[in-house]
């Protein structure tokens, strides 16, 4: 992901699981995933529509494309 001045959060991907999942998706879904990640990165207060607290330190990034909803598990390592 590119650096963006004024971003609220820094996002990091660990391991290959995300990229394997991402690369299996259509271009439309890939674009929607990146758009949702940019929302989470750049907006201070993110709607539960895009980022939902699941349990303790686990969150899910929620990406909808058409009638499909994709969930990407994540966590915050600072703050």
Q: What is the pLDDT of residues 7-60, one digit of tens each?
A: 888 888 888 999 999 999 999 999 999 999 999 999 989 999 999 999 988 999
Assess if residue 34 is contained within a domain: yes
Confirm whether 2 is domain-assigned: no
Can you list the pairs that 8-16 forms with residues at least 24 positions away whose Cβ atoms lie under 8 Å?
8/41, 8/42, 8/43, 8/44, 9/40, 9/41, 10/41, 11/37, 11/40, 11/41
Q: Which domain holds residue 33?
A: 17-74
Does residue 11 form part of some domain?
A: no
For residue 22, is it within any domain? yes
Residue 49 or 77, more confident: 49
Asked whether the predicted pLDDT for residue 79 surpasses 70, the reply is no
Whole-prediction pTM: 0.82
CA distance 55 to 47: 17
């Amino acid at each position: 992901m590119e650096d963006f001045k004024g971003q609220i959060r820094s996002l990091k991907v660990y391991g290959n699981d995300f990229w394997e999942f991402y690369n299996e998706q259509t271009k439309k879904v890939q674009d929607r995933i990146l758009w949702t990640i940019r929302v989470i990165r750049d907006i201070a207060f993110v709607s539960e529509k895009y980022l939902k607290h699941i349990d303790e330190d686990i969150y899910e990034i929620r990406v909808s494309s058409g009638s499909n909803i994709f969930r990407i598990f994540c966590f915050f390592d600072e703050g």
